[in-house]
Structure 1
Amino acid sequence: MELLTALYALCFLYFTYYIYNLVLQKRNQCCYMLAYECYKATEDRKLHTELCASIILRNKNLGLEEYRFLLQTIVNSGIGEDTYAPNNVILGKEECPDLIDSLSEMDDIFFDTLDNLFAKSGISPQEIDILVVNVSLLSAVPSLTARVINRYKMRSNIKAFNLSGMGCSASLIAIDLVQHLFKTHNNVFAIVVSTESLGANWYCGKEKSMMLSNCLFRSGGCSMLFTNNKALKQQAILRLKCMVRTHYGSNDEAFECCIQMEDENGYRGFRLTKKLVKSAAQSFIINLRVLGPKMLPLWEIMRYLVVSYRFRKFKSSSSQAAAAVPNLKTGAEHFCIHPGGKAVIDGVGKSLGLTDYDLEPARMTLHRFGNTSAGGLWYVLGYMEAKKRLKKGDRIIMISFGAGFKCNNCVWEVMKDMEDGNVWEDCIDNYPPDSLVNPFMEKYGWINDEHLSFIRMDDYRMFS
């Protein structure tokens, strides 16, 4: 009887929520994406095996043990040979970067993606009403938003916001900010620019937990154009349906699992601990408790509640897995997972019961572009589009994690068939490749030979 009463109450709440959403949509709270442009660096900045090895060998603080750790990490990272590094790292200035190096890195990404965005959309910079730039590891004066405004001579009454320290999930935080501004500003255009400053934050020490960031993070970024003008609905490619942000920073383990710091020798970097995957899982569960009812059909919510109730009542081990999470595939056709690392992608896939097809966009993005921080989600979206997977009416769930610890997820509706090749155009036919194994082991596997432990790394060239 209690279960039946709960189901009736749930139906009533769901119907009330549905009517409430319809009212909100009529109050100009829609958020449409008109276009997006991802950044692709020049060919001379590609981190192929030999260049990557030469950069590693420049670090005189590393010994044989550290080299073996790096070899194992790179081989198992899921990252290929076509990712891009900051220019100052390519030029050997990673230990002593100048401010101009960081600003030049940002300018390249900002202006390349924005130039293409304005050209594709036909919207001029002077029409932009809201500008949000998110770069976690660089706070400049004047702000990075000011650099964009100055370059494009934008209007003096533009609403500009500069976000820093928000981590890999900053892109969705910026979009959430835009969505809230849309509630009080009618028929406006907004731009979000998401990237990361890597050149000045390349770690030059030997702490293993801090060396991981050099193996995972790569140059990249994205600029996006949004509007709440319903007259432009037919031009939109995506419509934001719902967004849920979860901050798990009150948990000490989660707060410290990915953090910028200095090691004992004063080298600054980004530490990634083994607690990251656990923190991501816990914050994800909290997020789904709120996101699930917003995106899932009523029958799936009812099914999940019944299964959960039976599990709690009978403590059935067979239904424990089913009670863990609802079936998100009933609320979304596509899964756009932040390509933060192989462990995170596989962990999300396992917890949600996703197939290799579902995880393919995130895995291929990690392989081709690496972890591009806040811009990574849009390379995953670009892969789906280049593969012609996105059809009108499809729903996409975006799943992102970031330092703090944060889990920010949202659901988009595809407004038209999407078939642009974007940054994947010249290589999409080669994906997925036959193997994702990095060729480092083939060339540098001799480092693991215990009989060669007496060799100094200065003698490396005799083996290359």
Structure 2
Amino acid sequence: MADEKKQNLENKSLLSQPLLEREKNSLPNFFLSVKLKYVKLGYHYLVSNAMYLTLMPVLCMIFAHISTFTADDLWNQLKLNLVTVVLSSTSIVFTGTVYFMSRPRKVYLVDFSCYKPGPAHITSRELFMQLSAASEIFTEQSLAFQKKILEKSGFGEMTYAPKSLMQVPPNQSMAESWRESEMVMFGAIDDLLAKTGVKPRDIGILVVNSSLFNPTPSLSARIVNHYKLRGNILSYNLGGMGCSAGLISVDLAKDLLQVHPNSYALVVSTENITRNWYFGNDRSMLVTNCLFRMGAAAVLLSNRIFDRRRSKYQLMRTVRTHKGADDKSFNCVLQREDPDTQRVGVSLSKDLMVIAGEALKTNITTLGPLVLPVSEQLLFFVTLVAKKVFKMKIKPYIP
């Protein structure tokens, strides 16, 4: 028994020895990483504030030189150079006025609202499959495919669908489509106006986007009519622009706020699934049934200086990358008729994720120089020159 205990103690000491050695070896690495971290922070600070650090000694010298003059000396200098002083003062005032008049107006996101439908619109995965099977349109293979997509897409048991699609047979009439769009748009806008306290007649710009449902009168006209917006409102209705239309709408509103001072811009983003639900067996079109649900978002933008304090965000930059010139990108999301039943649906290409990744890469490359600090850009440039020009075998620096 004593021998067994002794052997166990020896085994424990042998097991713990490498661990202690690893801990001892890891301590220098830890302190080295801490040192490198502070070195990098110091580098970022020096590069970011290089201009101020350079100007400080110059300003100190100027102030030291001025302090040697007496009041009488300064007055004599001003009397001798009266014309120069007047011209300099006038040019400074003129330059300042031109700068403040021509500089870009700041755009603020005052608040936003996302519409949440009531309990009557809750649709679980099980109910979705029951309604799909009850329609007697989908084949067994199509039902199995939709079930697989539902499980992989991450939809929970409390997603929302319009009542027109929760009945057998489904009702895809224009009246039901209008009912869905009005419910989600007006619900989001009502909540937004209640949050911000802004009156409908204070809104000067309206941008609405809905990719597939574009009736006449337009959705933007319906909002103007419902809320009795003022007659000189700038109203825009964007269609056929896919999932990117929400960001495009914000970009358009930002540009309009640059030329219309003291204005509010209302941006409404939605999509209608009543009219665009696909009842067919083309797999590329069935994916959209499993990905899209009902909803809308409303955003209030402002260029009023008084809204700065209460706003949630300030819009700094918008960067758009358009890949429409490429045929693969152009055809990756396509509304068409399936060849078997001639039913209209939205087809998603298998190359969609690759194309989206390439567009995102281009977008980040464009956005990077605009948002990265000078220190990060300098490190990237030095690494790139070392790798491309001097053919050094180093890893590219990723900011």
Compute the RMSD of aligned alpha carbons.
Answer: 2.3
Asked if 1:212 corresponds to 2:212, the answer is no
Amino acid at match of 1:257: C
User: Who is 1:85 aligned against?
Assistant: 161
Q: Could you give the per-residue CA deviations for residues 77-116 of structure 1, whole angstroms, max 9, x where no partner exists?
A: 122111111221112354x511111111110011111111
State how 1:42-441 maps to structure 2 within 5 Å.
42-94=118-170, 97-264=172-339, 265-313=341-389, 319=395, 322=396, 326-327=398-399
Question: Helix, strand or coil for the counterpart of 1:303?
Answer: helix
Question: Helix, strand or coil for the counterpart of 2:217?
Answer: coil
Q: Supply the distance in 1 between the matched residues of 2:366 and 2:213 (Cα, whole angstroms).
A: 32
Aligned length: 304
Question: Helix, strand or coil for the counterpart of 1:199?
Answer: coil
Contact 1:28/1:182 (<8 A) preserved = no
Q: Supply the distance in 2 between the matched residues of 1:309 and 1:204 (Cα, whole angstroms).
A: 56
Contact 1:28/1:186 (<8 A) preserved = no
Query: How far has the Cα of 1:158 moved from its partner?
Result: 0.7
Moved more, 79-88 or 215-224: 79-88
Structure 1: tracts of 5 or more residues without a match = 1-10, 16-22, 328-464
Q: Supply the distance in 2 between the matched residues of 1:223 and 1:129 (Cα, whole angstroms).
A: 15
Amino acid at match of 1:138: F
Question: Helix, strand or coil for the counterpart of 1:88?
Answer: helix
Query: How far has the Cα of 1:224 moved from its partner?
Result: 0.8
Amino acid at match of 2:123: L
Q: Could you give the per-residue CA deviations for residues 288-346 of structure 1, whole angstroms, max 9, x where no partner exists?
A: 22111111111111222233344445778872xx56xx43xxxxxxxxxxxxxxxxxxx
Q: Supply the distance in 1 between the matched residues of 2:153 and 2:389 (Cα, whole angstroms).
A: 42
Q: Supply the distance in 2 between the matched residues of 1:189 and 1:120 (Cα, whole angstroms).
A: 15
Q: 1:168 to 1:60 in 2, by over 3 A?
A: same
Q: Supply the distance in 1 between the matched residues of 2:245 and 2:313 (Cα, whole angstroms).
A: 19
Question: Helix, strand or coil for the counterpart of 2:153?
Answer: coil
Question: 1 or 2, which has the higher helix percentage?
Answer: 2
Instruction: Report % sequence identity.
Output: 35
The two structures have a TM-score, normalised by structure 2, of 0.72
Query: How far has the Cα of 1:24 moved from its partner?
Result: 8.3
Contact 1:28/1:228 (<8 A) preserved = no
Contact 1:29/1:179 (<8 A) preserved = no
Amino acid at match of 2:139: G
Q: 1:35 to 1:93 in 2, by over 3 A?
A: farther
User: Who is 2:91 aligned against?
Assistant: none
Q: Supply the distance in 2 between the matched residues of 1:315 and 1:71 (Cα, whole angstroms).
A: 52
Moved more, 98-107 or 59-68: 59-68
Q: Supply the distance in 2 between the matched residues of 1:232 and 1:136 (Cα, whole angstroms).
A: 31
Query: How far has the Cα of 1:25 moved from its partner?
Result: 9.7
Structure 2: tracts of 5 or more residues without a match = 1-46, 52-98
Q: Could you give the per-residue CA deviations for residues 112-160 of structure 1, whole angstroms, max 9, x where no partner exists?
A: 1111111110100011100111111111111111111111111111111
Moved more, 250-259 or 304-313: 304-313
Amino acid at match of 1:108: M
Contact 2:107/2:302 (<8 A) preserved = yes
Question: Helix, strand or coil for the counterpart of 1:202?
Answer: coil
Q: Supply the distance in 1 between the matched residues of 2:118 and 2:305 (Cα, whole angstroms).
A: 38
Q: Supply the distance in 1 between the matched residues of 2:367 and 2:334 (Cα, whole angstroms).
A: 27
Larger Rg: 2
Q: Supply the distance in 1 between the matched residues of 2:392 and 2:151 (Cα, whole angstroms).
A: 41
Q: 1:49 to 1:285 in 2, by over 3 A?
A: closer
The two structures have a TM-score, normalised by structure 1, of 0.62
Question: Helix, strand or coil for the counterpart of 1:284?
Answer: helix
